[in-house]
Structure 1
Amino acid sequence: MPHLILADASLAFGHVPLLDHAEFQLEAGERVALIGRNGCGKSSLLRALAGQGALDDGSVWRQPGLRLAYVPQEPPFDPERSVFEAVVAGMGEVSALLAEYHEVSHAMAISNDNHEALLDRLHHLQAELETHNAWSFEAQAERVIQRFSLDPDARIGTLSGGQKKRLALAQALAVTPDILLLDEPTNHLDIGAIEWLEDMLLASGVAMVFVTHDRRFLDRVATRIVELDRGCLQSFPGNFTDYVARKEQMLHDESVQNAKFDKFLAQEEVWIRKGIEARRTRNEGRVRRLEQLRRDRAARRDRQGKVELAIDAGDKSGKLVAELLGVSKAFGDKTVVRDFSCRLQRGDRIGVIGSNGAGKTTLLRLILGELAPDSGSVRLGTKLQVAYFDQFRTQLDDEAALVDVISPGSDFVEIGNERKHVISYLGDFLFAPERARSPVKSLSGGERNRLLLARLFARPANVLVLDEPTNDLDIDTLELLEQLLQDYSGTLFLVSHDRAFLDNVVTQTIAPEGEGRWHEYAGGYQDWADYQAFRRNEKAAQETDKRVQTPRQDVPAEPKVRADGKRKLSYKETRELEALPGQIAALEAEQATITQRLEDPALYQSQPQEAQQLSTRLGEIDDELMALLERWEALES
């Protein structure tokens, strides 16, 4: 039985319908990715499915009794609330009791003032919670907060963008939903957090609909792709790679069919203009058919054009862009960059990766000479023209008109040797002429990103610094931007959490090694990840060799209590310790096999019960592995 059904749905903003009698249904265990151009209505559709937005026509049916959780693109939070209060907020009538109980417990732990009054209130709250059988809710809230590495007592106003996204996900999962609706869940998350989220969603078994433009995330998580295109929903079984192959063929077939239709219509228009023959009684049927053809052509919604991207690399910079020797930088007690050296040349495309707060922006400012190092030296090349793309879009004035953002005080922009009218240039970035005088605040997130790219590319630059340029951009625009940057003759610095984008664009990667140390690697993100995996495997093999090669036959018998005061292992414990590595390896192998099975979209269609069993087993393996690792540590110590 479907979890959710969208029937004959229509929705329009202005004269263009976002949904045109659209149909959709979500089955148990499915992970459906909703994709489409910026502004096509994906977020509006998600809000309608969640019951937070109305349709103009049609209906949304949800299976009675199922719990639904919705995480919008920018979740609204009260900055004065604590993390714990926000997580329990969706738990119904017990949420206020749980929030107060946590607050009183915290107050008692940090202060001795009013201890008796607090204790009385705590007893009263305990009684209330027992009456509502709410202790399981508290345990669930604490579990997800710990899972997302959040401080339950932190105020929301102090959290970073990535932490707020984690909080929104924690709030949704705390109610153990049957249906999960996610709008751009990877925004503001670093690569490690995105990969962790992928694993968690794969293991959860929850039916979900999500909107994302992260192609690696789509490939790994989705069991079905649904494209919102010109008001209609088209379904493609499988992941994003499968969708690309099928969509290419569909677009080809559609263009051939449209060409045949247009040719036939042109022939009929020529015939009607002959006059007398067309007006004879015996040809009235042909005249009516022509009128219907005209109506069909007027109703046809052609696919939206592509963004036209071009960039002027300006005058060539010197061959050397920057050389750093032994550079270090600290803020207070925290060393962000320690003893870093590199030499960057014209034409390099450098990806900078790392967790949020690792110091990526600080490193870039050091490389470009905008920040003085505490020690070491920075030598910059000549003729550098630097242009920045800011992920927080602080360069955009919300009240300014689009034309003034692109070319203040002038009606033209110059790209290379070509002079273009600013309205025509905005059209290259899919902004209609009637929107040229609209204020920036009227734009969606993806449209703001397009506008910022248009502003950036309207000025010559031989050094580009792009900080998260892919946020909110649709997949078509992402691929065009990739092509542009691959052909760019200047030097590129790219900070991004989009793994596919990094792999397709950069020639080398700078990544943190911990304790402020950074290292430069050849290739993109996957090359760096493969090297890290190789290092881990090599280290594990060396540790295994050390254990195997430790001589045993000539070691004299130890006393029951060793000289360092630690108890000697019994024979049984020794045998148990020797067996643990094999047991752990077997569980990890089973874990990898199950994860691979769960990534197969066909499994959820043909064997949904097995998919649920595998998800449950994956959770059990995590617990078993943790227990074995703790036992290993106890025996070795």
Structure 2
Amino acid sequence: MSQLSARSLSISYAGRVVFDGIELDVAAGERLGLVGENGVGKSTLLRLLAAAEEPDTGTVHRQGSLGYLSQEPDLPPGSVADAVDAALADFRALEARMRRLEGRMADGDTAVYEEYGDLLAEYERRDGWSADARAARAIAGLGLGDVAQGRHTDTLSGGQRARLALALMLVRAPDVLLLDEPTNHLDDDAVRYLEDTLLEHGGAVVVASHDRAFLDAVCTSVLDLDPALHMTPDGTVTLGPARYGGAYSDYLKSKAAALSRWEQEHRRWNEEVDQARAAVRTGARQVGHTNRARRDNDKFQPHFFGQKVDAAVSRRVRDAEKRVQELEANPVPKPPRPLTFGAALGDTPGDGMLITARDVDVPGRVRIPALDVAADTRLLVTGPNGSGKSSLLAVLAGALDPGAGRVLHARGLRIGWLPQTGVFSDPGLSALAVFATGRPGPPEDYQHELARLGLLRGSEFHTPVGRLSVGQQRRLALARMLASRPHVLLLDEPTNHLSLTLLEELEEAVAGAHLPVVLVTHDRWTRRRWDGDRMSLR
């Protein structure tokens, strides 16, 4: 039986349909991952499932207790200890009610025994016996062990607040868990703790995440909110979200196969339309071909059979016209065009050293005795937070002057530097104007180039960058970097705020371009598949 189900969920904002007709069922023990492009509605769907927002149409049914963690969760006022006590309040209340009922059991009232049994079943289902121990494990496992229990929650950093909210959710152990990007602000050890906890959770889990390794470790199925092709037994074609069984790696294989089927169906549909239209044109030319002007000596038999032939051809034309109408009424849309990053990447100039760094020292941030970036460099930079990874890339890009040492660039070198964070200087400029900044001519001259990259929708080109989402701003920064046709790539956390499909395509494009790259990333999926050199900062 499903602990969580949704039927025909639809919602729109300002006339824009976010999604229409979502259906899902999640049973106890199932862990469903939500994936899809930025803005496709993953967070919106979680809010609807959590009853934090009402759908335009459709219903949601929930069984048992519910826990919802948004990307910007609220914390109860007071100290960290107060917040933990509040998370344990459900179990304290259950314990108190069971103690009161135990005192009435001597009366032999059947209703008392039934109520006690229901309370005990919920207590055991949510593992109330180990709730206090679970609270201690969650605080330690999510890297909050050094935070004083008496510290007020208002004084915590953004990362600490996010981790504490997640810890409180895990302490409550609700029957249905809805998590929006729960691995944000977590280091590797904390992510592993979260994975282990969810694998042991007996209830239903729905999680939206851009962390591919996390999805691969946790999910039993994946719901892709991007359009996929669906065909009913009668041949009707529809587009909508698709659910795939298995973990993230299984989803990748299944989606590739589904896309291949979509491409085949689109080719088949085009061929059938072409054939039907050709039959109409050919038949139309044949009709009346035998209706020559009769002469006095024409025989009855040839004329009679000519009329029969015309009638048969006319039927074929009508059948072909009907088939064209049927096909055009139920078209197979063209599959989405893959992004073409490779067309925007330049060539490496020469075989020598492109960037040379010697005795670089940014006080309090990073110190590098020697580092060379050549045409064949593929370097992954790792290290804990604060070890200077971002500062190193900024120094190599020439955006940060070292306090000591020197950094040399090859003549004419174009560096593609993607910082981890950055604010556009004028939030009132349109996305297209920002993309064209520093280039000759009006912004409209570069509209086709921006469209070809496939990173922003056409409707977003004229949106002020200050009104774009974080993911859209990240895409715009990536587009600007690619437009420079760089010779070398310096990428600082390029996976942040990008959709999973875009991540896969970006990685393939960077690998296929054979450009030198220095990469900083916390993404375990990328790190596990990295086949180049590694450098660790301390």
Which interval holds the TM-score relative to the shorter structure?
Answer: 0.7 to 0.9
CA positional deviation for 1:279? 12
CA contact (8 A) 1:35 1:227 kept: yes
Q: Distance in 2 between matches of 1:488 and 1:154?
A: 50
- Secondary structure at the counterpart of residue 257 of structure 1: helix
Return the match for 2:484 from 444, 455, 459: 459
CA contact (8 A) 1:413 1:422 kept: no
- Secondary structure at the counterpart of residue 253 of structure 1: helix
Q: 1:264 to 1:460 in 2, by over 3 A?
A: closer
CA contact (8 A) 1:225 1:239 kept: yes
Are positions 1:321 and 2:349 aligned together?
A: no
CA contact (8 A) 1:366 1:372 kept: yes
CA positional deviation for 1:261? 2.1
> What does 1:263-274 align with in structure 2 at a 5 Å threshold?
263-271=271-279
> What does 1:125-524 align with in structure 2 at a 5 Å threshold?
144-150=138-144, 151=147, 152-154=149-151, 159-230=156-227, 232-271=240-279, 290-297=324-331, 300-309=332-341, 310-312=344-346, 315=349, 319=353, 321-325=355-359, 331=364, 337=366, 340-347=368-375, 348-365=377-394, 370-373=400-403, 377-383=405-411, 384-395=413-424, 397-408=426-437, 421-488=446-513, 490-504=515-529, 507-512=532-537, 518=538
Q: Distance in 1 between matches of 2:4 and 2:258?
A: 27
CA contact (8 A) 1:324 1:367 kept: no
CA positional deviation for 1:467? 1.6
With 24-33 and 395-404 compared, the bigger mean Cα shift is at 395-404
CA positional deviation for 1:22? 2.8
Q: Distance in 2 between matches of 1:31 and 1:397?
A: 42
CA RMSD of aligned residues (A): 3.9
Match of 1:342, as an amino acid?
A
Match of 2:21 in 1: 21
Q: 1:342 to 1:440 in 2, by over 3 A?
A: same
Kindly tell me the number of residue pairs found equivalent between the two proteins.
458
CA positional deviation for 1:3? 0.6
Residue by residue, what CA displacement relative to the aligned partner does 1:398-445 show, whole Å, maximum 9, x if unpaired? 33211111003767699xxxx973344234224333332112244333
Q: 1:67 to 1:411 in 2, by over 3 A?
A: farther
CA contact (8 A) 1:366 1:378 kept: no
CA positional deviation for 1:53? 2.6
CA contact (8 A) 1:84 1:141 kept: no
Q: 1:70 to 1:316 in 2, by over 3 A?
A: farther
CA positional deviation for 1:256? 1.6
Q: Distance in 1 between matches of 2:435 and 2:403?
A: 35
- Secondary structure at the counterpart of residue 437 of structure 1: coil
CA contact (8 A) 1:427 1:433 kept: no
Q: 1:422 to 1:61 in 2, by over 3 A?
A: same
Match of 1:606 in 2: none
CA positional deviation for 1:359? 3.1
Q: 1:135 to 1:264 in 2, by over 3 A?
A: closer
Match of 2:223, as an amino acid?
V
Match of 2:247, as an amino acid?
N
Q: 1:164 to 1:2 in 2, by over 3 A?
A: same
CA positional deviation for 1:263? 2.1
Q: Distance in 2 between matches of 1:198 and 1:471?
A: 20
Match of 1:5 in 2: 5
Q: 1:74 to 1:392 in 2, by over 3 A?
A: farther
Match of 1:211, as an amino acid?
A
CA contact (8 A) 1:6 1:24 kept: yes
Q: Distance in 2 between matches of 1:413 and 1:346?
A: 36
CA contact (8 A) 2:378 2:516 kept: yes
Q: Distance in 2 between matches of 1:81 and 1:399?
A: 39
CA contact (8 A) 1:396 1:452 kept: no
Match of 1:61 in 2: 61
Q: Percent identity?
A: 33
CA positional deviation for 1:463? 4.0
Match of 1:57, as an amino acid?
T
